[in-house]
Amino acid sequence: MKPLLLRLFVISSLIALAVTAHGSSRPRYGGTVRILLHDKVMFLDPLSDEDHPAARDRMAALTFETLTTIDAQGRVQPALASQWHADANKRSWQFRLRLANFHDGAVLTAADVAASLAKSNPAWKYSAPDRQTVAIETPYPVQRMPEILALLRYAIVKRQTDSTGSPLLVGTGSYKLTQWQTGERAQFTANEDYWGGRPFADTIEFQMNASLRDQFMDRQLGPYAATELSVDQLRAIEQSNQTIALSQPSDLLALVFLQPDSGGRSAKKPIDPRVREALTLAMNRAAISNVLLQRKGIPASGLLPQWLTGYEFMFDGAQNLNRARELRADAAAFIVINPITLAYDFSDPMAKLVAERIAVDAREAGIMVQPYAESHINSKTARAYLNADAVLLRVPLQSANPSIALSAYIDDLGLSQENIPAILGSTRPEDLLEPERKMLDGFRVLPVAHIPQALWLNTNVHNWQQQATGEWQLDQLWIEGAR
Amino acid sequence: MFILKTAFKPWFCVSLVLFLVAATFAQQEPQSTSSAATEFVQQILSKGGLPSAVAVTFQNVSSLSPDAQESLQNTMFNAFRNANVRLVKPEQAVVEVQITFSEDWQGYVWIANIQQGSTRQLVIKKLPRQQRVQNARTLTLTIHKIPVWQQETQILDFFQDNQNLILLEPEQISLYTSDSGQWRLRHTLGIPHEFSWPRDLRGRLEIHGNEMNAFLPGVRCNGRISSPSLDCRASDDPWPLDPGLVAFYSPRRNFFSGLLAGQNAGASVPAFFSGVSWQNSDQRMWIFTGTDGRVRLFQNTLASPAAMFNGWGSTLASVHSGCGSGWQLLTSSPADTTRPDSVQAIEVNGHDAAPVSSPVDMSGSVEALWTAGNYDQVVNGVLHSQSGKYEAFTLAVICNQ
């Protein structure tokens, strides 16, 4: 355990430097920043049910803003809201808005904010006591409301329709969306009237669905400022002395058993809990992290990573084949154990390798796992129609605040909402450990690894801020060679 | 809403060395490890129902060194004993406590697993990591960084003397006065402005006796320190950069346009971020850090550069140390996203420039460096630290011989 944690700490320290360090050359204005994204994005709305929500959020964060934001140290900071306060029991919150304009020139009002937030979370009540104040009331105490509202799903979006009846999204962010080709390309242009000052770069362009392997082979990366990398590409790029930015091991790679009765899925028998437990005990997470993830990933025993909470080590993720075989035999005495079909993301070669490795480990415990590729496992809607027993998901860490991150996992992994009030009402780390334990107790979610988000950066790119969670903050971005 | 974290009052009227020795940095220390350990033990005992006999075991899954771990264990053992609790073997214990030294990305995490019969309870305590302090001593000069003030909100420039600390901030000027060695806020004077400030906001504060002038992009303010007052107006007036150097600032950007004023009125150089001027024997010298990344040295004439340098940071200030050739430049490091910023002294000889000090780690981003208006032996600076706070500091240079 200790060498692993020491390694984690060393990795984390390096990343912390990369995340928080600043050079002292003053930012320069102008230029076009071109970025390659691995995935396709179909809709920019932060509330859309996307196959690749992380890729969508990278672009959406340029044009849509939240009331608050989280800085590199994990502290909440004002954004569209300049100040806020809550009543004593943290069920009634008020946020004071700063003066800001939407990209269509209209002034941001409390009514706009209330309407947008009502779409984000209909379970809470919103009102506008005056033009600059938004009030939020919740049915249970929410200790960390400002941190919650920093999530992009709470971004303030004015949803309209254009003359043809197509949806039109208007934001207040530092960049305006000026070109959009669904799933292919997006262009954002500096908002000259942004309340926080015009951003440095003139334009940011995203090319989606890019194959980095091809780009490297063709030595075509020169015009690009940055491109996403997968973990298996890191070693080759490190050896060629290129600049790589790694986040903390933030994404959760987890095997998630699908509810048999959710959505429109054909009713399949649920996998017996003893078999699910046997499967988690059969997994050799260390091998997955060390070999398949080339030591860039960290074995996961909990949902939240050790670097975030300091207590993940209290969840047992060690392989125990003997106990796995016992559990499997125990289950087999009462039920017929059918093969477990495991869907993985067809666009992620790493997911295929991990799913196959899980199948090999499971076989050691006498459990048949049949991995197969699926194209839409990340979309919650599409997942409801999958015929698989389980999916291998890579879920981004939504927040550097543990309680917010844990509550977001409940949504992302389709877990029971019953723990939400306890999580959002927690004031101490101890209060968070038990809900996490409960979420893992039924073996519906089997954590496999925590994986960093990786990025190749051109040497002419500056102030590329990658948060500990892997989120990009590009509003301070600038490039050399611009005017 | 400013948070006072540190206060420091240097006495510039004494010699520089005495000034450095006398300088103290009355930092409000975070909770000490010892008191944190005592508090942690009290929380454990409270959860455990104030038992008379406890078995305690430890494990370390953090980067804490074995020596530090042993020291911490001893502190906790003592805290148990001081609470009149006997430390016994597990088989004799009413309560068993397993303490784990862990850590997260922000600091250390201590976890106590308290087992009392079939009941298990947890106590978790988080502590920030201590920040490291660095200094440098080599070559001709040694640079000393002396923290002056630290706050959560942005500082653009500052002035201090025995009685006053004046901070130029984006929306106000804050006046502090000395009170028993501590700076106390006396007055804040708002800075009205019609347009949003540009990014990478910069500002310049100039004090002459009781008069103060503040320069921000497109705005100039004049005011008084005693009987505080401030009058701000839209203005493109040139900013004073260095004694003998005045230049026009681009009101919607973060650089000087290159058009000079004052005694160099009419002259222009390529747009720049930072510029200094000094007299070296019979030569007038100027250096500008261009927005194109090049540093241009001019000698006697601004018609064309005498030399150009690359690889410097874009922020610099001149300092009259008396060592070496007498004048040096303190310059920030070039942009590098993998290292914290540093400041290094550079001396110009003829057409060459060479470092004459070790780089001093600044643990953050240097936002501004200005030759202190009242003492040209020191440079005032502003730092956006890695902790996210803004820090006003002074850099003093000491000759090594």
Euclidean distance between CA atoms A250 and A232, whole angstroms: 16
Whether residue B378 is found in the same domain as residue B310: yes
Q: Are A414 and A256 in contact (CB under 8 A)?
A: yes
Whether residue B304 is found in the same domain as residue B165: yes
Whether residue B228 is found in the same domain as residue B292: yes
B337 touches chain A (CB under 8 A): yes
How many residues make up chain A in this entry?
Answer: 483
Q: How far away is chain B from the Cα of A430, in angstroms, using its nearest Cα?
A: 6
Q: Print the domain residue range for B115.
A: 33-128
* B312, part of any domain: yes
Whether residue B106 is found in the same domain as residue B224: no
pLDDT in tens, B173-190: 999 999 988 999 999 999
pLDDT mean over B70-93: 91
Whether residue B46 is found in the same domain as residue B66: yes
3-state secondary structure of A355: helix
A85 touches chain B (CB under 8 A): no
Report which of A259, A252, A250 is spatially closest to residue A415, judged by C-alpha positions. Answer: A259
pLDDT mean over A284-311: 95
Q: Please name the residues between 191 and 250 in chain B that touch chain A, using a CB distance below 8 Å.
A: 196-201
* B1, part of any domain: no
B111 with A310: Cβ contact below 8 A: yes
Euclidean distance between CA atoms A461 and A459, whole angstroms: 5
pLDDT of A449 reads 98
B126 with A245: Cβ contact below 8 A: no
pLDDT of A267 reads 57
**Residue A356 scores a pLDDT above 90:** yes
Give the pair of three-digit tokens for residue A69. Answer: 């934001």
* B72, part of any domain: yes
Whether residue B160 is found in the same domain as residue B90: no
**A178: which residues sit within 8 A by CB, 6+ positions away?**
A187, A188, A189, A203
pLDDT mean over A297-315: 96
Q: Please name the residues between 153 and 182 in chain B that touch chain A, using a CB distance below 8 Å.
A: none
pLDDT in tens, A89-121: 999 999 999 999 999 999 999 999 999 999 999
pLDDT of A9 reads 39
pLDDT band at B337 (very low <50, low <70, confident <90, very high): very low
3-state secondary structure of A279: helix
Euclidean distance between CA atoms B57 and B90, whole angstroms: 9
Phi-psi map region of B59: left, alpha, beta (phi>0 left; psi -120 to 50 alpha) = beta
Residue in B105, B111, B254 nearest the CB of A248: B105
Euclidean distance between CA atoms A46 and A63, whole angstroms: 11
Q: Please name the residues between 105 and 164 in chain A that touch chain B, using a CB distance below 8 Å.
A: none
Cα–Cα distances in angstroms (integers) from residue A475 to residues A162, A174, A188, A191, in the given order? 28, 7, 12, 11
Q: Are B155 and B149 in contact (CB under 8 A)?
A: yes
Cβ contacts of A71 on chain B, cutoff 8 Å: 388
Rg, Å, chain B Cα set? 27
| Percent of chain A predicted with pLDDT > 70 | 90
Whether residue B173 is found in the same domain as residue B40: no
Nearest chain A residue to B363, by CA: A21
Strands A158-161 and A167-170: antiparallel
Please give the DSSP secondary-structure letter assigned to residue A292. Answer: I
Give the pair of three-digit tokens for residue B58. Answer: 């430890």
End-to-end CA distance of chain B: 45
Cβ contacts of A199 on chain B, cutoff 8 Å: 199
Overall number of domains in chain B: 2
- Of B73, B99, B128, which one is at a domain's C-terminal end? B128
Cβ neighbour number for residue A335 with a 10 Å cutoff: 12
pLDDT in tens, A35-89: 999 999 999 999 998 888 999 999 999 999 999 999 888 889 999 999 999 999 9
Report which of B172, B149, B225, B179 is spatially closest to residue B390, judged by C-alpha positions. Answer: B149
Euclidean distance between CA atoms A2 and B68, whole angstroms: 16
pLDDT in tens, A165-206: 888 999 999 999 999 999 999 999 999 999 999 999 999 999
Phi, psi of A236 (to 5 degrees): -65, -40
B103 touches chain A (CB under 8 A): yes
Whole-prediction pTM? 0.81
B291 touches chain A (CB under 8 A): yes
Report which of A150, A180, A154 is spatially closest to residue A43, judged by C-alpha positions. Answer: A180
Interface ipTM = 0.78
Whether residue B301 is found in the same domain as residue B251: yes
All domains of chain A in start order, with CATH: 69-150 (3.90.76.10), 248-452 (3.10.105.10)
| Percent of chain B predicted with pLDDT > 70 | 87
A480 with B293: Cβ contact below 8 A: yes
* B328, part of any domain: yes
Q: How far away is chain B from the Cα of A338, in angstroms, using its nearest Cα?
A: 38
Cα–Cα distances in angstroms (integers) from residue B23 to residues A209, B16, B18, B77, B145, in the given order? 58, 10, 8, 38, 11
- Of B128, B159, B178, which one is at a domain's C-terminal end? B128
Phi, psi of A55 (to 5 degrees): -65, -40
B196 with A22: Cβ contact below 8 A: no
pLDDT of B128 reads 82
**Amino acid code (one letter) for B302:** L
pLDDT mean over B60-66: 89
Cβ contacts of A5 on chain B, cutoff 8 Å: 61-63, 102-103
**Residue B10 scores a pLDDT above 60:** no
pLDDT in tens, B354-389: 889 888 888 888 999 998 865 667 889 998 888 889
pLDDT band at B324 (very low <50, low <70, confident <90, very high): confident
Report which of B3, B86, B92, B79 is spatially closest to residue B44, judged by C-alpha positions. Answer: B79
Q: Are B355 and B344 in contact (CB under 8 A)?
A: yes
Cβ contacts of B109 on chain A, cutoff 8 Å: 309-311, 429
Q: Are A63 and A255 in contact (CB under 8 A)?
A: no
| CA max distance for chain B | 89
Cα–Cα distances in angstroms (integers) from residue A201 to residues A30, A56, B292, in the given order? 5, 20, 15
B152 touches chain A (CB under 8 A): no
Which residue shows structure tokens 């075509």? A220
**Residue A13 scores a pLDDT above 50:** no
pLDDT of B43 reads 93
Whether residue B150 is found in the same domain as residue B174: yes
Q: pLDDT: is B258 or B94 the higher one?
A: B258
**Residue A451 scores a pLDDT above 50:** yes
**Residue A153 scores a pLDDT above 60:** yes
CATH code where residue B76 lies: 3.30.2300
A248 touches chain B (CB under 8 A): yes
pLDDT mean over A386-400: 94
Top mean-pLDDT range of A223-227, A371-375, A422-426, B114-118: A371-375
Whether residue B182 is found in the same domain as residue B271: yes
B388 with A198: Cβ contact below 8 A: no
**Residue A414 scores a pLDDT above 70:** yes
Whether residue B50 is found in the same domain as residue B176: no
* B11, part of any domain: yes
pLDDT of B20 reads 42
pLDDT of B170 reads 97
B388 with A307: Cβ contact below 8 A: no
Nearest chain B residue to A72, by CA: B388
Q: B18 exposed, middle or buried (CB, 10 Å; 0-12, 13-18, 19+)? A: exposed
pLDDT band at B31 (very low <50, low <70, confident <90, very high): low
Please give the DSSP secondary-structure letter assigned to residue A289. Answer: I
Q: Please name the residues between 451 and 480 in chain A that touch chain B, using a CB distance below 8 Å.
A: 457, 462-464, 468, 476, 480
Average pLDDT along chain A: 88
pLDDT of B374 reads 58
- Of B128, B147, B173, which one is at a domain's C-terminal end? B128
Whether residue B147 is found in the same domain as residue B211: yes
